[in-house]
Amino acid sequence: MVTRFAPAPTGYLHLGHVANALYVWNDARARAGHVLLRIEDHDKERCRPEHEVALLEDLEWLGFHADAPLVRQSERGALYAEAAAQLDRQGLLYGCTCSRRILNPPSSIPHPPSSPYPGTCREAGHGLTDDVGWRVRLPDDEIRFDDQWCGPQVQVPAQQCGDLLIRDRKGNWTYQFVATVDDHLQGITDVIRGLDLLDSTGRQILLGRLIGRLTPATFAHHPLIMKSATQKLSKSDGDTGIRDLRAAGWTRDRVLREAATRSGQPFPL
């Protein structure tokens, strides 16, 4: 059993991360598995080295130790380029010149559901240059998997998101792509993460298949810590930042207990 903890250094560690880390490390411990630490710094605009330093320091203070040296997605560009080339050899990639604004026009409601990519550039013949997005043609397969928390799932990625963007116009590899490539190359057998990523799973299984993963990982999407009944916790909620809790005198045990009880885990474990 090999699982991973995969924070993006776009902010400080918060209670939601700690809840996820508890699920990940407890499951790995119970099954004599390994935890890999993967820094998801694929987005050059949003990630900061000082956030990585702080994340590592907080993890250390909390006592979460990985079983192998950490990997940084920002250092794995050659692997992503090779996976992209593999898709390209199958004729699955095309360039997309659509802007985010055209695809998701500004809306008056706070969280408009994002609509699937309509396939505007599918047959336009744009090459894979640096100034366009790169998309992968998704077959309309129905993906079935048995989530360890949520039970049997059926997802049709072609309808949910349409052709997936794997690289944006600024040259950043996208989360969906790099997470899929790394879960495959790192031999991750179990993906344990929050419920907010349940919808991404079908597309990651399908994309995994296209880059040569024969057997998908097992997935477990656990409950999230909520800010309120309807609002999920975000990095801007300073009240749950581990930095702030430490500064306010919280002990390690108190932080772990808070994260455990607020996400439905027994404590002590």
Residues interacting with ligand GLU, by CB under 6 A? Answer: 6-8, 40, 179, 193, 197
Minimal distance in Å, beta carbon 179 to ligand GLU? 5
Minimal distance in Å, beta carbon 114 to ligand GLU? 17
Minimal distance in Å, beta carbon 20 to ligand GLU? 8
Minimal distance in Å, beta carbon 143 to Zn ion? 24
Distance CA 175, CA 153 (A): 22
Residues in a beta bridge with 38: 71
189 binds, among Zn ion, ligand GLU, none (CB under 5 to 8 A by kind): none
Minimal distance in Å, beta carbon 124 to ligand GLU? 31
Distance CA 268, CA 26 (A): 11
Distance CA 130, CA 207 (A): 22
What are the C-alpha distances in Å from 96 to residues 158, 169, 241, 247? 16, 9, 38, 47
179 binds, among ligand GLU, Zn ion, none (CB under 5 to 8 A by kind): ligand GLU
103 binds, among ligand GLU, Zn ion, none (CB under 5 to 8 A by kind): none
What are the C-alpha distances in Å from 174 to residues 73, 170, 223, 229? 11, 11, 25, 30
Would you say 16 or 95 has its CB closer to ligand GLU? 16
Exposed, middle or buried: residue 123 (CB in 10 Å: 0-12, 13-18, 19+)? exposed
Would you say 121 or 222 has its CB closer to ligand GLU? 222
Residue tagged 């776009």 (tokens): 10
Distance CA 184, CA 203 (A): 14
Interface residues toward Zn ion, by CB under 5 A: 96, 98, 120-121
Sign of CA dihedral 192, 198, 199, 202: positive
Would you say 1 or 98 has its CB closer to ligand GLU? 1
Would you say 176 or 255 has its CB closer to ligand GLU? 176
120 binds, among Zn ion, ligand GLU, none (CB under 5 to 8 A by kind): Zn ion
93 binds, among ligand GLU, Zn ion, none (CB under 5 to 8 A by kind): none
Minimal distance in Å, beta carbon 97 to ligand GLU? 27
98 binds, among Zn ion, ligand GLU, none (CB under 5 to 8 A by kind): Zn ion
- Tell me which residue of 30, 18, 128, 95 sits closest to 63, measured CA to CA: 18
